[in-house]
Structure 1
Amino acid sequence: MATEAKKSGGFMETVKTIFWALIIAGVFRSLFFQPFWIPSGSMKDTLLIGDFVFVNKMTYGYSYASCPSVRLPAVGINIDAKKLCGVFDGDNTRLFGGEPERGDVVVFRHPVTGYDYIKRLIALPGESVQMKRGVLHINGEPVKLEDGGIFEEQAGPQGPQGLRPRCENGPVGDGGLCQKSRQWETLPGGVTHSILNIANQPTDNTGIYTVPEGHYFFMGDNRDNSTDSRTPRVARGVGFVPYENLIGRADRIMFSSAGRSMFFFWTWRGDRFFKAVE
């Protein structure tokens, strides 16, 4: 009997330990830093598929979007952040709110689907944005561009989803060299970052977007392979993003894997560990 009681007590202690570990992890993830796995190539070459970044939630303060969504399709779990913290939704304000800066790489909640996106902040409330022949114009003025050479990567399936990169040098078979033109773009305020070009397409020539108050305009660095604020929500795009939908700023790449799984150690990118996001 004593042995059975001891086993029972040991089991309950294990359950309690796991429970409190999950609570602490949830609080840490909600209030301080959220891990984010890069699933697509929309931010190349700043962020690559398989980069594992830490998102600083303290930078912009907190809103309902700061609550993490819990999505585990394999076991049928899909708990959206709005179900957990929806009571705080609707006023487009934040607790301990901080203003994002142009050029920040930001994780935000999609205004319609609720899924997390990561893009670069391009324009602030009240500003106008337009693309002309692939050149970004802010408030009617073109941004500064400099040649950045050629970005190269191996063609073939990338990441857990097996996504294949689009190439400026035409369709390229698996194992071939996929190339894109790269430029250095300098935004108003001085932030310089790389952008990639693949082809001439409708998003290279747009109308004028005027950012509403309390909203922001985001774009991917891989300009021709990004669903972002250039495409309105009614067309399955992102549109303008409300202030309360910001989750945090991506500050640092902690780990990176070029393979289908992070456990394939032979695909790890050692030169990207602890790399700052710029």
Structure 2
Amino acid sequence: MYLTRKFHIEGTEQLRRLSRSSADLWNSICKWYWRTVDRQDHWISKTAMRRWHCKGHDVLPSQTAQEVAGQFYEAIGSWHDNDRKGNPPKRCDKTYNVLRWTYQGVTLREDGVLRLSTKRGEDSILIDWPVDEEPRTVEIGKASDGFVVRAQYDREPVDRTTGDKVAGVDLGEKHLAAVFTGDDAFTINGGELRALRHYQNSLKAKLDAKIDRKERGSNRWKKLVETKRKQLDRIDNKITDLLHKLSRKVVEMLLERRVSAVGIGDVRGIRDRMGYGKRMNQRLH
């Protein structure tokens, strides 16, 4: 299995320059991709875009430049997979962008330092690495207080189960999960998640009302749409983080009770069968 290690490092002028260059490349790819679509009704392939914009890049090593194109086409692919709903990746005003290296550009030295390849004639990027395994991919992104490193590496899975108990889990709205192990039971409170969901829905309704009062396509309309996207993305990130922490808490509590298998109630299609009124439906959704 793969594990991801995340940690902060101090910013250097070299990292800032490479990150800005990565953003410039993203902006250029994004601009010419949509310009070609609008003017020629032609969707440029990733291979052609890499050949056009990434090959022989002035600042970024070839592999890292190609990964910028890969990031853009991953976003395009996700938009297509979602039946082109929502906003496609059209931003061409990035200041910093993520730098990505695959295993070909990553070397783990004997002294526990990662060496990331750069252009010929430039100093390699050196990062202290706290794990014995060499990472398969390394990403470095800009943060307010420096840069954030995310590195993915192989790790053999560890079986932590010590018993043969089976637990049943019932998903709910007030109690996010009600768990019965046969010997005892416990619940996971869903109040914080419910509050975030409620705030998300009310904020969306409030911003939608403001957007509807503006002329579509005007500067004010565009600013409100961007504000809505940023604020809802921020809440989505909080919800994802909370769900991850709560699910991990459930797993840890089950391991303490020597549980090796879990059965979860099937709630698929429940939205189609609900009709308890507007407020109650929103809570249960």
Q: Which has the larger radius of gyration?
A: 2
Higher helix share: 2
Higher strand share: 1
